[in-house]
Amino acid sequence: MQSDGPTMESTDREDSRRSASEQGKGPRRESRALLLPIKDLRNAKKRLADVLLPEERFGLAHAMLADTLRAARGAQLAHKIFVITNYQPAMEAAAKYGWEVLHEEQQVSESASVDLASRLCGERGITELLRLPLDLPLVQSCDIDDLLATECSAPATILVPSRDGTGTNAILRTPPALFPSHFGPHSFAKHLAEAERARANIIVRRNPRLEMDVDDEADLRALLQHGLAHTATGQWLEESGVAARFKIRAIAAETPS
């Protein structure tokens, strides 16, 4: 229910998530869109430098991107999908899938890229824009549709926190440029504060698949506890030997000296 000031709704999506097919039986709203900001993967995942070689960090980032793109391709409720990037392989993938590329000459930061894209999407008539990061190896198409199917009257935002609750793994804003982005440390609290200043309706959603991104060693160890058999990331972790290496380290750490 809309109020004069900001409100917050928290729900456990694992218990109460309805299927996208149930929520999407009405006419498709052509103003809903998905945004994928994609950086140059050759410079990705630097916080894993202590445990992965440069070529391994690239391989992991590439595999996680493949899983995110797969989920995006299967989403039913996004009228348009935008990719903002200057990374040539990402532009080629977007063209292959018929997505619109927002080309940026220089990537300053994730926040700058998303805010530029949000303004451009607003100018193209998009009223609801969902941003997803590229490193969500567990994400499924229904997770995307679930967020896009949520009814929220502008001004409003839907926030999905990171696994530790401090980051922002998914954010939907209506209108798209409702408030500035602050991706990075403690971004969830910063986005909440921005939404309150904008007097927006705030909806917080928890979803373990959307919350599982991989930024550091602890994230990678947590990911390896999940079933990854049908993901590109899981296949890469096995074929590269990284999964086996981490298992050996875990056993060694548990063995008394």
SS3 content of the chain, % helix, strand, coil (to 5): 45, 20, 40
pTM, 2 dp: 0.84
Of 2-11, 131-140, 162-171, which gets the smallest average pLDDT?
Answer: 2-11
* Residue 242 near residue 56 (C-beta atoms within 8 A): yes
What is the β-pairing status of strands 168-174 and 128-131?
A: antiparallel
Of the candidates 132, 139, 194, 143, the one whose C-alpha atom is nearest the C-alpha of residue 169 is 132
**End-to-end distance of the chain based on CA atoms, in angstroms?**
59
Q: Which of 12-21, 38-47, 69-78 has the highest mean pLDDT?
A: 69-78
What mean pLDDT is reported for the chain?
88
pLDDT, one tens digit per residue, over 84-123 is 999 999 999 999 999 999 999 888 899 999 999 999 999 9
The domain spans of the chain are: 8-18+30-254
Rounded to an integer, what distance in angstroms lies between the CA atom of residue 185 and that of residue 12?
Answer: 24
pLDDT, one tens digit per residue, over 66-75 is 999 999 999 9
Rounded to an integer, what distance in angstroms lies between the CA atom of residue 65 and that of residue 220?
Answer: 15
Confidence class for position 247, pLDDT limits 50, 70, 90: confident
CATH tag for 8-18+30-254 (out of 3.50.50.60, 2.60.40.10, 3.90.550.10, 3.30.70.1090): 3.90.550.10
